[in-house]
Amino acid sequence: MRLPDLAAALSLPASDLPNVEVSGATHNADWVGPGSVFVAIRGARFDGHAFMDKARGAGAVAVLGEGLPDGMTAPLPYLRVPDARAALADAAAALAGHPSRALKVVGVTGTDGKTTTSWLARHLLRAAGIPTGLLSTVGYELPDGELRHFPAHFTTPEAPEVQATLAEMVRVGAGAAVLEASSHALALDRVRGVDWDVAVWTHLSSEHLDFHGTLENYFADKKKLVERAPFAVLNVDDPWTAELRGVAPEETTYSAENQHADWRATGVEEGPGGLSFDVASPAGEFRARLPMIGRFNVANALAAMAAAHRLGAAPEALVAGLASFAGVPGRMELVPGPGGGPRVIVDFAHTPPSLEKALGMLRATTPGRLWVLVGSAGGRRDPSKRAPLGEVATRLADHAVLTEEDCRDTPIADILAEMERGAREAGRANFTSIPDRREAIAHVIAQAAPGDTVLLAGKGPEDTLERAAETLPWDEVGEARAALQRR
């Protein structure tokens, strides 16, 4: 695309611009290449305008920004835009050829459950014969099913990476895509250029308030997904859903508890092989089996079925797809061991509600003691959940090991002190604090007996562990497997 054509696509004046080819758009001067448009974003700590010369040196052909700072001149053609982040997303979508318009796109948002629901939806669509890509917190997949990872540590990648991934899906023949839409992605316009077909709402609880400020702001940003989709799949068990009814032009509801929902489950049975339940829905009535533990996954399955059915999946494909689902890496993932030791499970649960769900479910299926290892993030992440995490961990487990998650620039002693405070104020003393996560995993697995269950919570499939001075490669399942071998 030529620069004047890009300007026209963004509704900007194009007559005086050089007729040069544009290869891409980025807001990071380190990612600029020959032919890039550099988007100068004013952030909390840096103003992108300070990096215009660096961008020019790397081959940028123009700058987009909300206006030059006083006393500064642009070393390249400067296109003024009302909102730099929105312009980055719009430019990325235009340069990629608006790939989402060639796909049926499901977006999934919520505090808990969105990863499992996303993986389920992509699996059900594939079972229905629709080649489907996936973009989630675990990584991204093309229809070939191979899990890939972005180099940057984002819950959702920036807009150029989102659009490039969707374009790659189109190139290899995908007919649909499932995207996790985090609150950051929605607030920062990372997914602004996506044309949604279905929005799925799972559940809302307190999270990321360091970024959003209030729970109401957090809700408002997540609500954007429902506002932008023509069809919404809404969880009637979530109190916030009342404010979402009627927002999308069309909607359906689901519930594992409420028999007035459109998609509902009855006769739920949980056994060693997973879950089975009866489904009553607009697609008909049928018995479903899901090889996952945790009754809360019934709701995730209903949401995924409702989304897949909207895009054409027949009841037979839904039933077959659920029965063949292999699970999600780092979500209630059973760690294989040599035998004779405790059951060890890795899960991403990192909020008090998600940890409470996970521990409550494991308590019901554990003949012995229940152990949990849990940490809390540092840096600019929401510190208000640290004490509640300590309270939930010590209330529902027989013993809790408190440790690091990603402490970043927050002293680990401060994080552990807050978690300990939550436990002590609840009258609990059944915890041990071990700052080093590797040592903590080795300790809890060594202490647990055969018949016990150990939940390693908080990291799930993440492949790094962030500390103040370093970012370490990390494999939670690998650490657990090594600890089991050493028993």
**Residue that finishes a domain, picked among 40, 61, 95:** 95
Sign for the pseudo-dihedral over CA of 146, 147, 150, 156: positive
267 class by beta-carbon count within 10 Å (0-12 exposed, 13-18 middle, 19+ buried): exposed
Q: Tokens 């594939």, residue?
A: 126
What is the chain's pLDDT, residue by residue, as a tens digit (487 residues)? 999 999 999 999 988 899 999 999 999 999 999 999 999 999 878 899 999 999 999 999 999 999 999 999 999 999 999 999 999 999 999 999 999 999 999 999 998 889 999 999 999 999 999 999 999 877 899 999 888 877 654 445 899 999 999 999 999 999 999 999 988 899 899 999 999 999 999 998 766 666 667 888 889 999 999 999 999 999 999 999 999 999 999 999 999 988 899 999 999 998 767 899 999 999 999 999 998 888 889 999 999 999 999 999 999 999 999 999 988 888 888 888 887 889 999 998 888 988 998 999 898 888 899 999 999 988 666 788 899 999 999 999 999 999 999 998 899 999 999 999 999 999 999 999 999 999 999 999 999 999 999 999 999 988 889 998 888 999 999 999 999 999 8
The response to whether 73 counts as a known ligand-binding position is no
DSSP 3-state percent helix, strand, coil across the chain (nearest 5): 35, 25, 40
Closest CA to 236 of 217, 216, 260: 260
The response to whether 65 counts as a known ligand-binding position is no
The response to whether 110 counts as a known ligand-binding position is yes
Instruction: Report pLDDT for 75.
Output: 96
Has residue 295 been placed in a domain? yes
The response to whether 48 counts as a known ligand-binding position is no
Residue 389 tokens, joined:
């995490």
Read out DSSP for 336-373? P-SSSS-EEEEE---SHHHHHHHHHHHHTT-SS-EEEE
Residues 50 and 198 in one domain: no
Can you tell me the distance from the alpha carbon of 266 to that of 287, in angstroms, rounded to the nearest whole number?
10
Has residue 239 been placed in a domain? yes
Residues 186 and 304 in one domain: yes
Closest CA to 322 of 294, 307, 302, 295: 302
Has residue 328 been placed in a domain? no
Domain total of the chain: 3
The response to whether 112 counts as a known ligand-binding position is yes
Instruction: Report pLDDT for 259.
Output: 86
Looking at the DSSP bridge assignments, the partners of residue 231 are 250
Residues 12 and 144 in one domain: no
Residues 143 and 86 in one domain: no
The response to whether 115 counts as a known ligand-binding position is yes
CA atoms within 13 A on the CB side of 290: 30
Residues 210 and 291 in one domain: yes
The response to whether 237 counts as a known ligand-binding position is no
Domain that holds residue 32: 3-95
The response to whether 156 counts as a known ligand-binding position is yes
Instruction: Report pLDDT for 473.
Output: 93
**Residue that finishes a domain, picked among 271, 303, 323:** 323
Instruction: Report pLDDT for 207.
Output: 63
Residues 34 and 109 in one domain: no
Residues 151 and 164 in one domain: yes
Can you tell me the distance from the alpha carbon of 29 to that of 20, in angstroms, rounded to the nearest whole number?
19
Residues 273 and 130 in one domain: yes
Has residue 269 been placed in a domain? yes
Instruction: Report pLDDT for 153.
Output: 45
Residues 348 and 303 in one domain: no
pTM exceeding the 0.85 threshold for the entire prediction: no
Angle (CA) 371 372 376, round 5°: 165
**Residue that finishes a domain, picked among 302, 323, 344:** 323
Cβ(68)–Cβ(49) below 8 Å? yes
Residues 227 and 162 in one domain: yes
CATH of residue 47's domain is 3.40.1390.10
The response to whether 155 counts as a known ligand-binding position is yes
Residues 52 and 104 in one domain: no
Instruction: Please list, residue by residue across 241-261, b when 16 or more beta carbons sit within 10 angstroms of its beta carbon and e when fewer do.
Output: beebeebbeebbbbbbeeeeb
Residues 187 and 266 in one domain: yes
Instruction: Report pLDDT for 94.
Output: 98
The response to whether 116 counts as a known ligand-binding position is yes
Residue 228 tokens, joined:
């932008």
Q: How far is CA 358 from the centre of its chain?
A: 18
